[in-house]
A = this chain, B = another copy of it.
């Protein structure tokens, strides 16, 4: 898949504001309508610009939402990297709790948006989600390698895959579950599972 490029980049301040307004509006419309029902006319209307203006910056509908999603994931990856950087020397239990807690918070913050995006990533076949996953796995793996002698896992790459996808799966499920457990208790329990998997017994917590 070739990623469609913005048709033209804004140079004046007015144009930059327009560009931002369009991206912001596309996020709002995506959340409230879903991808296919999110018409470009509606996005332009919400952004307060004409449909013609929208098509000056984005060659087609797909390019618009691709730009939105790519940007979102770039931010996510950056966040993750900053967090793990500050945790690399922290005790395992603390690091795990911080990681799990951060993921819970990130998704809770803008549940609808994360939701809508996650849904569309599959649909558009974007490499973005894959990128986030791979980066997450690499970051976690680096951490595991650094603490290897204290852990009872053998394959750090495999463990990283299991951990990242398990925790994200839990967070994801949480979004749709009508009878959700209490958040703090769940966060603790997930941390517990991770710690038991990594180091074992009650010395984990």
Contacts and interface: CB of A to CB of B under 8 A. Distances in A.
A107 interface: no
A7 B36 CA distance: 26
A165 B161 contact: no
A54 to B, nearest CB: 20
A200 B201 contact: yes
Given A158-B185, A165-B170, A190-B162, A133 B177 contact: yes
Contact of A162 (B159, B168, B176, B193): B193
Copies of this chain in the oligomer: 2
Q: Give the residue among A133, A161, A172 with the most B Cβ atoms within 10 A.
A: A161
Contacts of A119: 119, 122-123
10 contacts: A34-B123, A158-B186, A161-B170, A161-B173, A166-B166, A168-B169, A169-B172, A193-B193, A193-B197, A197-B197
A119 to B, nearest CB: 6
Given A37-B36, A129-B176, A166-B169, A181 B161 contact: yes
A130 B167 CA distance: 19
Contacts of A196: 196-197, 200
Interface of A: 34-37, 115, 119, 122-123, 129-130, 133-134, 155, 157-159, 161-162, 164-170, 172-174, 176-179, 181, 185-186, 189-190, 192-193, 196-197, 200-201
Interface class of chain A by DSSP: helix
A173 B177 contact: no
Contacts of A190: 162, 166
Given A36-B36, A37-B36, A189 B174 contact: no
